[in-house]
Structure 1
Amino acid sequence: MEQINDLLTGSLGEFGPLIVVGSLGLLMILATLPILLKQQKDPLEKLRQENERGVVMSPGQRLRTGSSKDKLEKYKEFLEPKDEKEYSAVRQKLMQAGYRSRNSVRYYHFAQFALGIAGIAIGVIYYLLFLSDADDMSTQQTLVYILGPGVVGYMAPKYWVTKRQQERQTQIQEGFPDALDMMLVCIEAGQSLDQSIIRVAHEIRPSFPALADEFEMVSFEIKAGKDKSTVLRDMGERCGVQDVSSFVTVLIQSATFGTSIADALRVYASEMRDKRVMRAEEKANKLPTKMTLVTMTLTVPPLLIILVGPSAHGITQIGAAR
């Protein structure tokens, strides 16, 4: 045992035994995790679900349809949050980022888990290849090099989804005033609200595809027979933009009280145009403040060199002469 310890210490450094034990433990976890997570579905529960759906399949049909199921279905208990609020929050965030798949939450958590494990494996390999011979490496530095890539891999999907969510919301916010103006023109030309939504979705797709997708989804849900108020509220939740939520409230109130949709759209479109101008003015007013630091950094040092440089050079020459 002492010979093995001395061999590991001599080849991998002071933390050689700890690294080997940790690597073996990680490999054992990766090897046994699929077996632990694999859950056999109860045949009685499966039969009950089929009876509730009113579907009777032959064994051959079950084999053919079973191959098309999601491969992560058997791991859903591990990959999906148990808390309903947490699941709804992640689901809503993914929908606002443009991921509307039924299994998007499952894929999101799988990406976090897989990239985290891959990052830890990369950190271990990097430490064994390049840093194992370092004698002045502390325990904290070792953990940082090994666990750091795992933390980065785990947080990468969250950063990506948040970035996509912000970009999509910005695109919807920028294109919404133009979409309202076009919708107002369509309604005043005699088209219904449903027809105007389809027309606007078709026209703004080259410039604002995210907003066009939302309008198309609204039209499809209305055609499917879903209640218009519910469809509009769902659109406001999917977009996550305050302007869209206010627009949905205006349309619902207009339909509830029986007022003209064209008049409501005219007033709200005017407000959206003014709001867009105000956002542009706000960005323009912030620009001088943002440029101040850059301007000072680029102009003050050359100015000081020009003004103080000759005097400093003269002082050094006088001192050298004395």
Structure 2
Amino acid sequence: MIDQLNTLVTGLLGPAGPLMVVAGLAFVLILASIPLMLNQKPDPMDKLRETAKQKVDSETRAILRDKRRNAKLNKYAQYLEPKSAEELGQVRLRLLQAGYRSRDAVRLYYLAQVVLGVGLLTAGVVYYLMFKATPDATMQQKMFYMIGPGAVGYMAPKYWITRRVEERREQITQGFPDALDMLLVCVEAGQSLDQSIVRVARELRASYPALADEFQIISHEMKAGKDKTQVLNDMGERCGVQDVASFVTVLNQAASFGTSIADALRIYAAEMRDKRVMRAEEKANKLPTKMTLTTMIFTVPPLLIILVGPSIVSIANLGSMSPN
């Protein structure tokens, strides 16, 4: 049958007839496949690749923006950074404890001090010259209206950082026992310490974001290949909480001596729970002492008025009724 078709095609189209028929069939198949290709659904893997590429591009643009911003601050770096490396390290650690981890945190901190100090100083001078300037004004009044706002503006960033540090420490202290309990559950369930830290960071995000950030930083640094001991020590410095520093020491000792991390976490978590109960009892015991002064302020004066008031009125009436 194939020979007959070949003979027929050769008789009609010549010796090149079979090749022409094959080429025509290929052309027809290509034309038929074009609509199918146009209607084909996109591959999910291609979507993932495209999304990842867009994310990388956006991160690259963000980095470029940061570099341009850094270039602007670099012009004034000698005025926006301490001259001493020790002082620079202390300020950077303080900002890390407050939750500010950007590369330009130190420069922005000093920039805020300069801008607020100079701005409020200028505003104070203008306000004094326009509204408070009098010939008999004393030097204290001049300093209060002119230098006072500048001093407030210069100290405001330092006060803000101090408040932020205290708030983060309080939040970390409150959430650390719960974090240890969750970490112990994950470790006893068979997860590694790295996986447990990632899970705890995700679960604590809603309740204690500051502590969740610290655990997330640990997980990222461990994935990057940084030494685990150094990672934990850095966490203890960033938090600035004694409980976290003790926890870091416990984990490092357990890793050094080869003891079970689950046992160490179990004992330390029990101690943290007891310590939280002791802190609550301490606050409860301080409450009566704090309430005593308030009770005296709001109770004793009305009581004296009720008891002594009628006698004072009677004495006043007798004095008015006595003959002149």
Q: Residue type of the partner of 2:131?
A: F
Please tell me whether Structure 1 or Structure 2 has the larger radius of gyration of its CA atoms. Answer: 2
| 2:233 alignment counterpart | 233
Hey, what's the Cα distance between the residues in 2 that align with 1:311 and 1:265?
69
Q: How many pairs does the alignment contain?
A: 259
- Deviating 4+ runs (over 3 angstroms): 63-70
> Which residue pairs with 2:255 in the alignment?
255
Report the Cα offset of residue 242 of structure 1. Answer: 0.4
Cα displacement string for residues 45-76 of structure 1 (whole angstroms, at most 9, x for unaligned residues)? xxxxxxxxxxxxxxxxxx99974544111111
Residue 12 of structure 1 is matched in structure 2 by none
Q: Any idea what SS the aligned residue of 2:82 has?
A: coil
Q: Which amino acid in 1 is paired with 2:277?
A: V
For residues 277 and 188 of structure 1, the distance between their equivalents in structure 2, rounded to whole angstroms, comes to 24
- The answer for the alignment partner of 1:179 in structure 2 is 179
**Aligned-residue CA RMSD (Å):** 1.5
Residues 79 and 67 of structure 1, relative CA distance in 2, 3 Å threshold: closer
Deviations 1:178-222 (A, max 9, x none): 000000000000000000000001111100000000000000000
Which residue of structure 1 aligns with residue 110 of structure 2?
109
Between the two proteins, what is the percent identity of the paired residues? 66
Question: 2:70·2:104 contact (CA, 8 Å) conserved in 1?
Answer: no
Matched, 1:197 2:201: no
- Greater RCO (Cα-Cα under 8 Å, separation 6 or more): 1
> Structure 1 length as normaliser, TM-score?
0.78
Normalising by structure 2, we get a TM-score of 0.78
Mark the CA change 1:65 to 1:237 in structure 2 (over 3 Å): closer, same or farther: closer
1:65/1:244 Cα in 2 relative to 1: closer, same or farther (>3 Å)?
A: closer
Residues 65 and 156 of structure 1, relative CA distance in 2, 3 Å threshold: closer
> Which amino acid in the other structure matches residue 102 of structure 1?
R
Q: How far apart are 1:135 and its partner, in Å?
A: 3.6
C-alpha displacement at 1:125, in angstroms? 1.0
In structure 2, the partner of 1:146 is: 146
Distance (Å, rounded) in 2 between the aligned partners of 1:106 and 1:229 = 30
- Superposed CA deviations along residues 98-153 of structure 1, whole A, max 9, x for unmatched, are 00011111110110011000011110111011112x34311221122100000000
Is there any run of 5+ residues in structure 1 with no aligned partner, and where? 1-62
Aligned to 1:309: 309
CA distance in 2 between partners of 1:64 and 1:313 (Å): 78
Judging changes above 3 Å, is the alpha-carbon distance between structure 1 residues 184 and 159 closer, same or farther for their aligned structure 2 residues? same
